Amino acid sequence: MLRYVDNPNGSLDDIAGVCNEEGNVVGLMPHPERACDELLGSADGAALIPRC
């Protein structure tokens, strides 16, 4: 389980993402694709998306 440090959306228990036991299915609330290029204002998500 991934948790927010600062909960920007009020999610229950600060949950930001979950994955199954095998680790091959992930649900992620933040949208890293919106932060994968400095042109968009941030490149913080590039580490999560190799093609960025």
Query: How far lies 44's CA from each of 2, 19, 37, in Å?
Result: 16, 21, 8
The pLDDT score that the predictor gives to residue 28 is: 80
pLDDT digits (tens, 9 = 90+) for 1-52: 667 778 777 888 888 888 999 989 888 877 767 677 777 788 777 777 666 5
- Give the type of residue at 42: S
pTM for the structure as a whole? 0.49
